[in-house]
Amino acid sequence: MVEWEFEKGFSYHFLSQGDVDSFSFLKFILRQQKIKYLITSTWHIAKADIKEFERYYDLGRLNNMDFYVGEILPSAFYEKYIAVSKLVRKCGGRVAVFRNHSKVFVGFGEKFDFVIESSANINTNPRCENTCITLNTELANSYKKFYDGIKSFQRDFDDWKPQNM
């Protein structure tokens, strides 16, 4: 059982029996606080999830976002790549395409900064998955530094500048 309010400095570990996605953990955090800046790293994303990110942005729960996606997105799912790019351009971020299979959220919020590391994709599947949420600014900054250094295969966001946190 997880308490409603997370505590700074703590890590929360989850092992599921399926029917859980990494986005559910981010939504739990979005119920606790607004997120000023979010990094999303994923191999793939569904259209419904893109719309959900846009809904949170439109509600003012998410401000700036950068997405880091696998090379499959623009090559095999170009329509989804365009939808993510459109959303991210709205909030001044970038979409970086690289040899990615990591499922990570890095967030800087009103109350706490966090990293969500998960074996789960953004979308739900019926497999056992593990997830760890760590509320630690140093760890979030470390992940941010790594992702800021990614050079995208796509040249769509060459004018992008990293967010100052």
CATH of the domain at 52: 3.30.870.10
Decide if 6 is inside a domain. no
CA pair distance 86, 93, nearest whole angstrom: 10
Q: Is pLDDT at 18 greater than 80 in this prediction?
A: no
**Does residue 60 sit within a domain?**
yes
Distances (CA, A) of 38 to 59, 68, 114, 128, 138: 15, 11, 10, 26, 15
* Contact (CB, 8 A) for 33 and 62: no
- In the sheet that 104-109 helps form, which strands lie side by side, from edge to edge? 11-16, 129-134, 113-118, 104-109, 35-42, 62-70, 95-98
Position 161 in a domain: no
Mean pLDDT of the chain, nearest integer: 93
Q: Would residue 156 count as lying in a domain?
A: no
pLDDT in tens, 26-58: 999 999 999 999 999 998 899 999 999 999 999
Let me know if residue 143 belongs to a domain: yes
- List, for residues 77-94, the tens digit of each pLDDT value: 999 999 999 999 999 899
74 found inside a domain: yes
Cα separation, 9 vs 42, whole angstroms:
25
The pTM is what?
0.94
* Dihedral sign, Cα of residue 80, residue 84, residue 89, residue 90: positive
Residue 18 covered by a domain: yes
Chain centroid offset of residue 140 CA? 12
CB 12 within 8 A of CB 2: yes
Q: Which domain holds residue 49?
A: 11-148
- Decide if 165 is inside a domain: no
Residue 11, Cβ density class (10 Å: 0-12 exposed, 13-18 middle, ≥19 buried): middle
Domain count, the chain: 1
* DSSP-assigned letter for residue 150: P
> Across the chain, which distance is largest between two alpha carbons, in Å?
44
